[in-house]
């Protein structure tokens, strides 16, 4: 399932980075922390790989 906004895509990328151990979980805030706790690495990959160019800044 692709991300529906640029903000969602960025949050998924941050959560994925923490899930892989590249960044600390304590650095996550808001949506990225929720995504880290509730989504699998595979789901986060699908959100994070969405191309930002065609997405709105925020979901309406």
pTM, 2 dp: 0.84
The pLDDT of 43-51, averaged and rounded, is 89
Report helix angle 41-48 to 30-38, nearest 10. 140
Query: 24-37 pLDDT, tens per residue?
Result: 999 999 999 999 99
Task: Output the CA angle 46-59-29, nearest 5 degrees.
Answer: 70
Task: Note the pLDDT of residue 60.
Answer: 64
Question: What whole-number distance in Å separates Cα of residue 5 and Cα of residue 23?
Answer: 23
Tell me the average pLDDT of the chain.
89
pLDDT over 90 for what percent of the chain? 62
Mean pLDDT across the stretch 33-59? 87
Question: Does residue 38 carry a pLDDT above 70?
Answer: yes
The answer to whether 56 and 9 have CB atoms below 8 angstroms apart is: no
């Amino acid at each position: 399932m692709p991300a529906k906004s640029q903000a969602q895509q960025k949050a998924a990328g941050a959560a994925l980075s923490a899930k892989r151990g590249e960044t600390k979980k304590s650095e996550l805030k808001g949506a990225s922390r929720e995504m880290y706790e509730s989504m699998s690495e595979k789901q986060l990959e699908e959100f994070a790989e969405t191309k930002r160019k065609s997405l709105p800044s925020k979901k309406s």
